[in-house]
Amino acid sequence: MSEKLEVSKFLANSKSIPIIDVRSPGEYEQGHIPDAYNIPLFSDAERASVGIRYKQAGNEFAVQLGLEIVGPKLADLVKQVKKIAVSKQVLVHCWRGGMRSASMAWLFETAGLKADIMHGGYKAYRAYIAEQLLQTVPMKILGGYTGSGKTDILLELQKKGEQIIDLEGLAHHKGSAFGSIGELPQPTNEQFYNDLGKEWLALDFNKRVWLEDESVTMGRCGIPSALFNQMRKAEVIKLDIPKKVREIRLVKEYANGDIIGLENALTRISKKLGGLKASIALEALRNEDFLKVAEISLEYYDKAYAYGLSKRNPAQVQTVIIEEDDPMKTAVDLMKLGI
């Protein structure tokens, strides 16, 4: 017999039992619980048809149309879910934990499976993540000018047992005009939020977590206000790494053959660079003088970062001088300093 589980219990059980998202493919693509499988009751077009029937003729006739659509699919739906089930168990959810999830749970149970439902559905899951992001966590913000290798340092800290959240990794974007170069396509903002929620729920809230100093948006992905506000109040460890060292790192990161991407990024910040410097940078790019491009770009980004840092409480900013680009050594040094 299926049970309706609260979101926390549903997610706890999902560590060993697969989640079946029975919403339409379009709903799933817009945003879903990480690692959930999509076995839709209706296609996007079918869902739209049922919705129109509901508005035109009411619930009874909408249900009748739904049954006509789903009837021929029943055997295939069961085959799909049996390939995924673990120990003959699955977890099921739809948008609000209503008719779609209840119908699919009934079908799966008829086929010999145990199918528990998430109370309130995906909508309740989203509300639960929003609530959890309000939790206060001891936090350290790793700051520093562009090209400091902050993400690599975070990953080295993680190897040494520190908790981190790699926001840029989740967003597939490094946060600047150049941020999409060399990255996978970005998730939707909704999916970024869900993926962030998964990372957040895995934290021990009694231990500190490291995050990189970010602006509120990274491409089309925005940091939820509850987390961003907490980040802005946290202590910043500002890495002071020589500009020439950072230029070399940027060349390694971005001079990967995507000349068009680099040109588009320079064009986007051309007004901020100033007409003359933008022209020099574009000419240097055409001549494959990537160090010159990095040098000019950093003149703008360094000023922008310094301005942003000036808005913070100076007592909350600790500067650590780093002479070389060695993320592993930097991580060790930060831990030796007792930061």
* Burial grade of 212 (CB within 10 A; 0-12, 13-18, 19 or more): buried
Nearest C-alpha neighbor of 302 from the set 190, 86, 194, 143:
143
For residues 211 and 167, the answer to whether their CB atoms sit within 8 Å is yes
Could you give the CA distance from residue 240 to residue 148 in angstroms, rounded to a whole number? 8
Could you give the CA distance from residue 295 to residue 286 in angstroms, rounded to a whole number? 15
Q: Which member of 33, 62, 90, 94 is catalytic? A: 94
The 10 Å CB-count burial string (b at 16+, else e) for 249-279 is bbbebbbeeeeeebeebbeebbeebeeebbe
Could you give the CA distance from residue 151 to residue 272 in angstroms, rounded to a whole number? 25
Could you give the CA distance from residue 232 to residue 214 in angstroms, rounded to a whole number? 9
The token duo for 176 is 């600047």
The token duo for 156 is 């080295």
Which residue do the tokens 């051309």 mark?
A: 270
In the residue annotation, 221 being an active-site residue is answered as no
For residues 148 and 241, the answer to whether their CB atoms sit within 8 Å is yes
Nearest C-alpha neighbor of 9 from the set 126, 109, 117:
117
- The residues carrying an active-site annotation are 94
